[in-house]
């Protein structure tokens, strides 16, 4: 599992909302609670947890941002064809 990482994400449609959520998490609000409240994808019920994944399993922009993170670190807002993501590396 050395080349796999575990991340959670929050996916929203608007950049302004993504920036607001990012700021709130950076100030100490719960990533999982923000995911449950705002994320528009199916991982919202798990607090945004995507589980473990390796290279080539996610879209390029998402993957590049996720693999650049240290464990516990929050990404800047990342745009993909699905919308705007905030990614947190869990493991």
Each residue's pLDDT tens digit, 17-47 = 999 999 999 999 999 999 999 999 999 999 9
- The number of distinct structural domains making up the chain is 1
The pTM for the full model equals: 0.96
Give the domain CATH number at 32: 3.10.50.40
Mean pLDDT (the chain, rounded): 96
Partners of 41 in the β-ladder: none
Is-contact 87 22, C-beta < 8 A?
Answer: no
Range of the structural domain that residue 81 is part of: 4-89
């Amino acid at each position: 599992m050395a080349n796999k990482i575990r991340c959670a994400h929050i996916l929203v449609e608007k950049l302004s909302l993504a920036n607001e959520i990012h700021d709130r998490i950076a100030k100490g609000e719960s990533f999982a609670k923000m995911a449950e409240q705002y994320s528009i994808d199916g991982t919202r019920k798990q607090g945004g947890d995507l589980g473990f994944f390796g290279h080539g399993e996610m879209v390029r922009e998402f993957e590049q941002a996720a693999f650049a993170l240290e464990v516990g670190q929050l990404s800047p807002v990342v745009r993909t064809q699905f919308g705007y993501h905030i990614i947190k590396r869990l493991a």
